[in-house]
Amino acid sequence: MSIPKEKIISLFKETGALLEGHFLLTSGLHSGTYFQCAKVFQYPRHAETLCRHLADHFRSERIDTVVSPAVGGIVAGQETARLLGVRSIFTERAEGKMTLRRGFEVRPGERILVIEDVTTTGGSVKEVIAAMRDAGAEVIAVGAVVDRSGGNVRFDVPYHSLLRLEVAVYPPESCPLCALGTPAVKPGSRGLKSG
């Protein structure tokens, strides 16, 4: 049984995680709406509620490991893995390329579930999929808490999101929010430096 869309939106609003303004997304696009999953996930009971639905959706897939892109997907990946009873690891950008670091490894043929917090274009997830395949693992499926593409994002494996909304995004050169003179803020984690 899936979690009602209204319940997810309510959790985001209740925790202050559904932001309105002018935002620079990880994809480079601009938007007037931002889903800050970290504000929902700061409450472990909410993380468990959301990720239980992701875990239940993929429970029959014989997943070995959940892999998430840092930083946004880490909590969702960790909690989904816990509920599936499997290992959780994450990828990070090193010299512009999504890669496993911190001693994380995957085995050839290992069955991978990629979990992300929010997808817009799916770029980070596609990089994780490529990194897993380069390491010889088998990517089984992708899951996300929020798909803000309205279902337009596509992967070459099954994809399931808990909340699917079509949220307007704009290229920077034709952004109406930029035209109004409001500065774009970047609440995400793409620019974080890793040690």
Average pLDDT, the chain: 92
Q: What kind and span of H or E run contains 68?
A: strand 65-69
CA-CA distance, 78 to 115, in Å (whole number)? 9
Residue found by looking up tokens 């509620």 in the block: 49
- Structure pTM? 0.89
Q: Any bridge partners for residue 138, and if so which?
A: 111
Q: What kind and span of H or E run contains 78?
A: helix 74-84
Q: Which tens digits make up the pLDDT trace of 81-140?
A: 999 999 999 999 988 889 999 999 999 999 999 999 999 889 999 999 999 999 999 999
CATH code for the structural domain at 37-166: 3.40.50.2020
